[in-house]
Structure 1
Amino acid sequence: MKLHVLTPALLGALALTACQNDAADTAMATDADADAAAMADSAPAADEATTSADATAAMDATAGAPASGDVVDAAIASPDHTTLVAAVQAAGLVDTLKGDGPFTVFAPTNAAFEKLPAGTVEGLLEPSAKDDLSGLLTYHVVSGNVDAATLTQQIEAGGGSATLTTVQGGTLTARADGGTVTLTDAKGGVSTVTAADVRGSNGVIHVIDTVLMP
């Protein structure tokens, strides 16, 4: 596919989930505004106008801003990443990923871990496997803030693919096809990015559907 066609398609695909997240946040904000309006029914009209103006200003101030928590907090808040959080804790990487960063985390979902052979996750969570687990997890982390726009630029500059060096030391190959972004790991396995630009205060998370193997 020609790059001048691929780039907007890729940006659109990567931005879709971020837009969905924004829509969810907007819905939550709307519910909160409705509750505030109900409590203010008995207040003077001037107070209602002030409340509305304050709410609008608050939404404008936070629109597009990074999450108040870091990438670890963002993972903890996701019900689809409980296995990943348990693995990060078992590997002793919590403090590392709460550091200044910035970090780009390709975060496998619980379903991604379930694709591994039976007993794999349990074995990796054993204290004796801490080094192996740490290597696996840091293979999912790239230094820097590689958001959707940056990844698009890297793929374009690479003629259709981009090589990402992980904190573990290995590499991942990012490609795009028809707006779908994939990562190929060292074993030849392919993972698809299903959500992009979940932002934390010290980096960005992209959700993936398959565990990457160094």
Structure 2
Amino acid sequence: MSRKFLSLACVAATLFAVSTSFAEEKATKAKDIVDTAVAAKFNTLVAAVKAGELVDVLKGEGPFTVFAPTDEAFDALPEGTLESLLKPENKEKLQAILKYHVVAGKVTAAEVMKIDEAKTVQGGMVTVKVKDGAVMINNAKVVKADVMCSNGVVHVINKVLLPK
């Protein structure tokens, strides 16, 4: 009986070591925020990050929490707004808007649910509330939470946040 138990313990230990090794390898191969946005086909957000010259920042060590608007969220902006923001002469305004979507540190959905507001990298505050069972960041609904990245976390939102 003890030999059988010892054999099972060895198998269990081996499986644990293999699964832990796999989890660690997977974590180290996780994509950063920019590569995650590219892979998820957040084309407008990626174009804006490039135009705002913030790629290197969002590929940096972090950690960051990004509230990432969908392409549809950008499409909902008033006509001509996005095109205007992407012009080189409006880079500072674009950067301010993009930085308003970023919070320093890694704030998961569970942690977001416990706060009322968060200070953005832009310097402004976003409000956080639960409305009808959905987490709202200002007037934007979180449609997908906790997309883990090697340098932070992304929460997908359905509207573009505009600083006051």
Look up the match of 1:171: 125
Pick closer, same or farther for the CA change 1:59–1:212 going to 2, 3 Å. same
AA paired with 1:178?
A: D
Contact 1:70 1:98 survives alignment (8 Å) = yes
Residue 179 of structure 1, CA deviation: 2.2
Moved over 6 A (4+): none
Residue 60 of structure 1, CA deviation: 7.8
2:120 is aligned with 1:152 = no
AA paired with 1:122?
A: E
2:138 is aligned with 1:206 = no
1:56-135, aligned counterparts within 5 Å?
57=18, 61-62=22-23, 65=27, 68-79=30-41, 81-135=42-96
Contact 1:71 1:201 survives alignment (8 Å) = yes
Identity of aligned residues (%): 48
Q: In proportion to residue count, which structure has more helix?
A: 1
Q: Secondary structure at the match of 1:153?
A: coil
Look up the match of 1:137: 98
Number of equivalences = 147
The gaps in structure 2 that reach 5 residues or longer are 1-13
Pick closer, same or farther for the CA change 1:59–1:119 going to 2, 3 Å. farther
Contact 1:174 1:183 survives alignment (8 Å) = yes
Residue 151 of structure 1, CA deviation: 1.1
Q: Secondary structure at the match of 2:57?
A: helix
Q: For residues 49 and 125 of structure 2, what CA distance do their matches in structure 1 show?
A: 20
AA paired with 1:136?
A: I
Q: For residues 70 and 160 of structure 2, what CA distance do their matches in structure 1 show?
A: 8
Contact 1:70 1:203 survives alignment (8 Å) = yes
2:145 is aligned with 1:196 = yes
TM-score w.r.t. length of structure 1: 0.64
How large is the Cα RMSD of the aligned pairs?
2.1
Q: For residues 71 and 94 of structure 2, what CA distance do their matches in structure 1 show?
A: 16
